[in-house]
């Protein structure tokens, strides 16, 4: 494996990490299960591509605008969640994914099935970024995502979202503005997905409607479920592991969606909290190991 190839894999792992961490806010914290996350990803990628190709904006100018656009679209597409809940919300998000892809496919503004091509590499100091620099850019955006979402997980907002996810009526009676926090969750999650989309569009250089199909939403959700819903470590772990496995075992590539589907079934049946989620057997093991080490350390000090 050459360095350039490893960097490419690294960039894609970074993009999917951002996506999983963002889905974690919506599905892990607020418990609004979404199978349309690829639509938000796609909206980010398309708006970044259009801003770059048709308006001639640089990556650095397009990124903040993309974030704003995807957040606004998130608010709009989050509206069904106010009326529809649980399993029917999942159906609606699936529907949203199909509708968004159909819109990309249909309207000439989005390039139809030919997509948008010739998206330039971001430039810094007058020359395009190299592979390594792009990897560093991705990595720093991943760090930014993880950091801000960690901050979010320490705020009152996350508590409100979790309360709302557990029991809407109870949350309402405690004075939590449920619609507001649902829309927040959609907007924040969508904005992060916009960052991922922007990174994807400028790295691959082209966007096509089928890049953001429903299968991709399933892949993102199974990464999150595999790693552990409701925790950032689980989201990161799931994305990294499920993107890495096919790279090491080439023959797996053909079975990728089979594995994603199968994993989704098995994990939900036997380990609904994922491998590193709260209360999963691995995390329990790690925690007890840590506490034993800590107490041994205390004794040594004494």
Q: How far is CA 62 from CA 55, 147, 232, in A?
A: 9, 22, 27
Q: Which of 140, 255, 279, 281 binds other proteins (CB under 8 A)?
A: 255
When asked if residue 279 is in the footprint of other proteins (CB under 8 A), the reply is: no
Region 179-218 residues binding other proteins, contact defined as CB under 8 A: 215, 218
Q: Which of 182, 212, 203 is nearest to 43 (CA)?
A: 212
Taking the C-alpha atoms of residue 121 and residue 68, their distance in angstroms, rounded to an integer, is 21
| Torsion, CA 125, CA 207, CA 195, CA 14, rounded to 10 | -90
- Give 87 or 118: the residue with its C-beta nearer to other proteins: 87
* SS3 category, 142: helix
The DSSP code for 228 is -
Of the candidate spans 125-133, 187-195, 220-228, 282-290, the one that interacts with other proteins by CB under 8 A turns out to be: 220-228
User: Phi/psi class of residue 241: alpha, beta or left (left: φ > 0; alpha: ψ in -120 to 50)?
Assistant: alpha
When asked if residue 235 is in the footprint of other proteins (CB under 8 A), the reply is: no
When asked if residue 254 is in the footprint of other proteins (CB under 8 A), the reply is: yes
When asked if residue 257 is in the footprint of other proteins (CB under 8 A), the reply is: yes
Q: Which of 6, 54, 56, 86 binds other proteins (CB under 8 A)?
A: 86
When asked if residue 258 is in the footprint of other proteins (CB under 8 A), the reply is: yes
Tell me if 217 sits within 8 A of 97, measured CB to CB. Answer: yes
Q: How many CA atoms lie within 13 A of 207 on its CB side?
A: 34
When asked if residue 225 is in the footprint of other proteins (CB under 8 A), the reply is: yes
- The minimum distance between CB 234 and other proteins, in angstroms, equals 16
- Give 6 or 99: the residue with its C-beta nearer to other proteins: 99
Of the candidate spans 46-54, 75-83, 139-147, 156-164, the one that interacts with other proteins by CB under 8 A turns out to be: 75-83
Enter the tokens of residue 3: 């360095």
- The minimum distance between CB 114 and other proteins, in angstroms, equals 16
When asked if residue 246 is in the footprint of other proteins (CB under 8 A), the reply is: no
The DSSP code for 249 is S
207: exposed, middle or buried (Cβ count in 10 Å: 0-12, 13-18, 19+): buried
Torsional sign, CA 198, 202, 203, 209: positive
Taking the C-alpha atoms of residue 172 and residue 83, their distance in angstroms, rounded to an integer, is 15
Taking the C-alpha atoms of residue 244 and residue 181, their distance in angstroms, rounded to an integer, is 34
- The minimum distance between CB 262 and other proteins, in angstroms, equals 5
- The minimum distance between CB 98 and other proteins, in angstroms, equals 5
When asked if residue 271 is in the footprint of other proteins (CB under 8 A), the reply is: no
When asked if residue 105 is in the footprint of other proteins (CB under 8 A), the reply is: yes
When asked if residue 102 is in the footprint of other proteins (CB under 8 A), the reply is: yes
When asked if residue 94 is in the footprint of other proteins (CB under 8 A), the reply is: yes
Residues lying near other proteins in the complex (CB under 8 A): 33, 35, 79-80, 83-84, 86-88, 90-92, 94-96, 98-99, 102-103, 105-106, 215, 218, 221-222, 225, 254-255, 257-258, 260-265, 268-269, 272
């Amino acid at each position: 494996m050459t360095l350039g190839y490893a960097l490419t894999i690294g960039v894609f792992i970074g993009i999917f990490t951002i996506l999983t961490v963002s889905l974690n806010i919506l599905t892990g914290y607020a418990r609004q299960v979404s199978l349309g996350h690829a639509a938000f990803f796609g909206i980010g990628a398309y708006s970044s591509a259009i801003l770059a190709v048709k308006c001639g904006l640089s990556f650095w100018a397009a990124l903040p605008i993309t974030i704003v656009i995807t957040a606004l679209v998130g608010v709009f597409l989050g509206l069904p969640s106010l009326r529809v809940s649980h399993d029917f919300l999942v159906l609606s998000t699936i529907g949203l994914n199909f509708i968004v892809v159909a819109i990309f496919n249909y309207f000439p503004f989005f390039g139809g099935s030919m997509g948008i091509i010739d998206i330039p590499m971001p430039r810094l100091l007058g020359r395009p970024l190299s592979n390594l620099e792009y990897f560093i850019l991705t990595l720093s955006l991943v760090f930014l995502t993880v950091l801000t979402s960690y901050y979010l997980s320490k705020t009152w907002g996350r508590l409100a979202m979790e309360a709302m996810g557990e029991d809407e009526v109870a949350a309402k009676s405690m004075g939590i503005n449920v619609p507001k926090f649902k829309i927040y969750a959609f907007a924040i999650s969508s904005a992060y997905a916009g960052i991922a989309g922007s990174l994807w569009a400028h790295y691959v250089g082209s966007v096509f409607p089928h890049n953001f199909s429903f299968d991709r939403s399933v892949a993102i959700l199974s990464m999150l479920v595999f790693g552990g819903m409701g925790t950032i470590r689980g989201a990161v772990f799931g994305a990294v592991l499920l993107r890495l496995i096919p790279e090491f075992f080439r023959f797996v590539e053909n079975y990728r969606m089979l594995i994603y589907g199968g994993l989704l079934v098995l994990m939900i049946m036997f380990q609904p909290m994922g491998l590193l989620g709260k209360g999963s057997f691995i995390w329990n093991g790690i925690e007890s190991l840590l506490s034993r080490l800590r107490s041994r350390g205390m004794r040594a000090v004494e």
